[in-house]
Structure 1
Amino acid sequence: MEKSRVLVVGGTGYIGRRIVRASLAQGHPTLVLMRPEIGLDIDKLQMLLSFKAQGARLVEASLDDQAGLVAAVAQADVVVSAMSGAHIRSHNLHLQRKLVEAIKEAGNVKRFIPSEFGMDPSRMRHALEPGRVTFDEKMEIRRAIEEANIPHTYVSANFFAAYFCPNLCQMRTLLPPKEKVHVYGDGNVKAIFVDEDDIATYTIKSIDDPRTLNKTIYIRPQENILTQNEVIAKWEKLSGKVLEKVHVPADEFLASMKGCLTNFEIGEDGAEATLLYPEVQYTRMDEYMKIYL
């Protein structure tokens, strides 16, 4: 079967660059939107040029130029948006409305994957600020997609490994603690940790799959469904060092989150990525953490 042509929007971002690499690796004709707003950002420009050297085609268009954006979208079968969803830059998510409008006008796109990739926003109504605004904006984009009758797939990958695993779920750092670790509540709330490259791999595998059309795919690697205590134990085994545990009472932190990340059944409107694509050898978290030793 001929591979779909993939247009990646936000291809120089944290997830976007991985989406581009995964699309190329899986043999898709890959286009990357190059926005004139890049200005003097030499790092982004050099990344785009490196994609070009790997076989991607750069398509120049601005989100503020509807005609140009429609022309860019019309060159692809699938559009993947990886625009930043960090709450400090959450206005970028709203810019996807322009992308939705362009896809609707172009009329040829067989699948749109909006920028989500973290927790399923439809299950995060309890979230607190400042993160809540990001989930609300993602739901607004979902409504716009569905009202426009655009074929879509939503991707939920829960916790990005680099942000939550090597630091043993500590706040305000990305590095493993050296002497002591804060344990939230009893440390037994389960979460799902996913390697960011695996997120991209599963995303691209889903784009031509009829089983994922108009559904949410949940990336749930069974060996990466871990409690904080289990993550800490893995690090202690790898490092050979036992950390002092400082317990933070549940009523001070994560009380409202308890059990919300893994305790729901996937219904008919969803699918589990590791079951759909068992051939993917996903990264286990003990392997992921080895680079931090």
Structure 2
Amino acid sequence: MEKSRVLVVGGTGYIGRRIVRASLAQGHPTLVLMRPEIGLDIDKLQMLLSFKAQGARLVEASLEDHAALVAAVAQADVVISAMSGVHFRSHNLSLQHKLVEAIKEAGNIKRFVPSEFGMDPSKMGHALEPGRVTFDEKMDLRWAIEDANIPHTYVSANCFAGYFCPNLCQMRTLLPPKEKVHVYGDGNVKVNKTIYLRPHENILSQNDVIAKWEKLSGNVLEKIHIPADEFLASMKDTDFANQVGVGHYYHIFYEGCLTNFEIGEDGAEATLLYPEVQYTRVDEYMKRYL
């Protein structure tokens, strides 16, 4: 079976680098967009060169250069965007909108995967300000994709293990707490049930994650439960990024926005689609932090 040519945009990011490696491992002819704006970022350059050494082809094009971007897109069958969320915030067309315009003009793309990978924005019309902007702008991008009749797949992966498991869902840290842990409400809202990526054994509440860490580490933590009103009050007089983070955490851990709906006919669960893929269980993932 002929493999699809895959173009990855944002290939040096947290998600992007993993997508590049997975595409190469699956034997797809893999192209990685190399933006001139990389400047003097030596770490990103070395990563791109390592991809090249593994068989990827680097395609130089700026997202600000429409003609060059169209030419890059024309070389692929599938485009996967893994750009950082910061690229959603712009008074003008966002960089992803420019990518959509290039895909529309090229007219050859069989599948476009935009950079979402978080909560499903179509379910977040009630989201709190200022964090609501994240979901509103993602929906604007979805409408642009659909208006352009571009074949697409939206991926919602919700809580990534690296950001939510080892820190036991604490904000502003990536490491496990050693003595005390803040528990949002009663801690029983499920947080890892996802729309497209829903590995059954990783559907866990915050209390589940804490219990697994206590069992692995042999250390029992003091639980400090934070009521919803107190948690929301913590965003007052803080910077914009913190306010957005608090709002998103509220929807996840107090409202259960990741699990309070069923997958509809327009959705699919990844582990059922690809049962041969073995995913890492939370217990195994957390052992590296011991």
In the alignment, structure 1 residue 234 sits paired with structure 2 residue 231: no
- Say whether residues 1:277 and 2:262 are aligned partners: no
2:100 matched residue in structure 1:
100
Letter matched to residue 273 of structure 1? A
In angstroms, what is the RMSD of aligned CA positions? 1.8
Per the TM alignment, residue 93 of structure 1 is displaced from its structure 2 partner at its CA by 8.8
Residue 183 in structure 1 maps to residue 183 in structure 2: yes
Letter of the 1:282 partner, please give it.
Answer: Y
Equivalent residue for 1:45? 45
Contact 2:111 2:153 in 1 (8 A): yes
User: Which whole-Å CA distance do the structure 1 matches of 2:45 and 2:131 have between them?
Assistant: 30
Structure 2: stretches of 5+ with no match in the other structure: 232-248
Q: Secondary structure at the match of 1:245?
A: strand
Determine which structure has greater relative contact order: mean sequence separation of CA pairs < 8 Å that are 6+ residues apart, divided by chain length: 1
CA gap 1:130/1:4 in 2 versus in 1, 3 angstroms: same
Aligned mates of 2:256, 2:164 — CA distance in 1: 17
Counterpart residue number, 1:289 = 286
* 1:223 corresponding residue in structure 2: 201
Query: Any idea what SS the aligned residue of 1:150 has?
Result: coil
Cα-to-partner distance string for 1:195-247 (whole Å, 9 max, x where unaligned): xxxxxxxxxxxxxxxxxxxxxx6101111111111100000000001011111
1:128 Cα deviation after fit: 2.4
Which structure: greater strand fraction?
A: 1
Does structure 1 retain, via aligned residues, the 8 Å contact 2:193–2:258? no
Q: 1:252 aligns with which of 223, 227, 230?
A: 230
CA contact (8 A) 1:7 1:80 kept: yes
Larger displacement relative to structure 2 (260-269 or 1-10): 260-269
Task: Please give the residue correspondences for 1:124-139 in structure 2 after superposition, counting only pairs within 5 Å.
Answer: 124-139=124-139
Task: Give the aligned residue type for 1:224.
Answer: N
Structure 1 spans left out of the alignment, 5+ residues: 195-216
The aligned residue for residue 33 of structure 1 is 33
Contact 2:186–2:225 under 8 Å retained in 1:
yes
- Matching of residue 61 in structure 1 with residue 39 in structure 2: no
Residue by residue over 1:56-106, the C-alpha shift from the partner in whole angstroms, topping out at 9 and shown as x without a partner, is 00000111111111100000000000110158x744992111111110111
Q: Give the structure 1 partner of residue 5 of structure 2.
A: 5
Report % sequence identity.
86
Q: Over residues 32-51 of structure 1, what are the superposed CA-to-partner deviations in whole Å (9 max), with x where a residue is unaligned?
A: 00011111111111110000
State how many pairs are aligned: 270
Letter paired with 2:286: M
Q: Distance in 1 between matches of 2:57 and 2:179?
A: 48
* Counterpart-to-counterpart distance in 2, 1:269 and 1:68: 34
What is the alpha-carbon distance in structure 2 between the residues aligned to residue 193 and residue 243 of structure 1?
A: 25
Letter in 1 for 2:262: E
| Deviation digits for residues 122-144 of structure 1 (CA, Å, limit 9, x no counterpart) | 11222224432221111111000
Give the 3-state SS of the residue equivalent to 1:246 in structure 2.
strand
Give the C-alpha shift of residue 259 in structure 1: 2.5
Structure 2: which amino acid aligns with 1:165?
C
Q: Tell me if the contact between 2:30 and 2:56 (Cα under 8 Å) persists in the aligned partners.
A: yes
Determine the structure 2 residue equivalent to 1:22. Answer: 22
SS at match of 1:183: strand
Kept in 2, the 8 Å contact 1:94–1:137? The answer is: no
CA distance in 2, matches of 1:130, 1:86: 14
- What SS does structure 1 have at the residue aligned with 2:58? strand
Rounded Cα–Cα distance in structure 2 between residues aligned with 1:26 and 1:67:
30
TM-score by length of structure 1 reads: 0.88
Alignment of 1:191-206 (within 5 A): 191-192=191-192
Tell me the SS of whatever aligns to 1:159.
coil
